[in-house]
Amino acid sequence: MNANDGARALRFRCISPDQAADLLLRRFAGSLPALAVFDTRERAYFERGHIDTAQWLNDSSFGAALQRVSRSTPVLIYCHHGHASQAWAERFTDFRYAEVYSVDGGHDRLLDALNARAGDAGAPALPPDASVALETFLAEHDFDTRDLNRARAHGLTPLMRAALSGEAALVDELLALDVAANARNGDGNNALWLACVAGDAGIVRALIAAGIDIDNCNDTGATALMYTASSGKHDMLALLLGYGADATLRTGDDYMAVDLAATGACLRLLRHTAR
């Protein structure tokens, strides 16, 4: 085994423009602690316009980028169409960057995704007729009552915190206020994952009914289904399977939910996907 084998075992991920926009918006909101963004198009294109916070990257500046960006910092790379960025992503993984993303479709599609998000309706605020329980909950966790989608500690929004706490009534009230069900925390998990942590089937059903992404992949490529399998929560696992969760998705390390099954009950539910 040569010295580069360990580095080459690391792999970058190709992600959609929407996923890349999500990473950027989480960074702008502060729920993602760090993100290095690189534009690998020709200098003239970069000067004409680039994604906010992006740094221009070419062969001459690559060494300086390695010195400036820590190996633990997630790296997001885009080019014109999503091809050249893959070669750059591989170079970063060769230098042991553990979390590297190449944007499919390139700059223009990423910009379109960001603009589409900017065009979304304004964030919901706490209405005058909100329940006392919701007012108290928001105050206890220092949430912004003017923006019920704004994250606080650990990148959790009010909906995520309520789901994690098993507060079904608060989840229902927040969903009725049209909060963003698919917001993701600093690890890339949405409220469904947190409801599974709480083990609350009612909240899981409410979130799915509200249109949450049942197959959301976090920053390691793991889904809520994978979490329930790995934690031995066979009742939550069965519930997600019943709602059509995809058991064939793989993590960044190429594991499926069946590979992570912690109990015989979970394995039996997933044996139809075993390789």
Q: Are 263 and 232 in contact (CB under 8 A)?
A: yes
Terminal CA-CA length for the chain: 28
Side chain identity at 242, as an amino acid letter? G
Q: Name the catalytic one among 14, 79, 217, 266.
A: 79
Determine the Cα–Cα distance for residues 129 and 131; give it in Å rounded to an integer. 6
Determine the Cα–Cα distance for residues 136 and 124; give it in Å rounded to an integer. 17
Show the tokens assigned to 155: 């990148």
Show the tokens assigned to 181: 């069900």
Smallest CA-to-CA distance from 163 within 125, 126, 192 is with 192
SS3 state of residue 100: strand
Determine the Cα–Cα distance for residues 162 and 138; give it in Å rounded to an integer. 10
217 in active site: no
Count of alpha carbons within 13 angstroms of residue 152, beta-carbon side? 17
Query: Which residues have C-beta within 8 Å of that of residue 18, sequence separation ≥ 6?
Result: 113
Helix (H) or strand (E) holding 14: strand 13-15
Determine the Cα–Cα distance for residues 109 and 80; give it in Å rounded to an integer. 9
Catalytic residue numbers, as ranges: 79
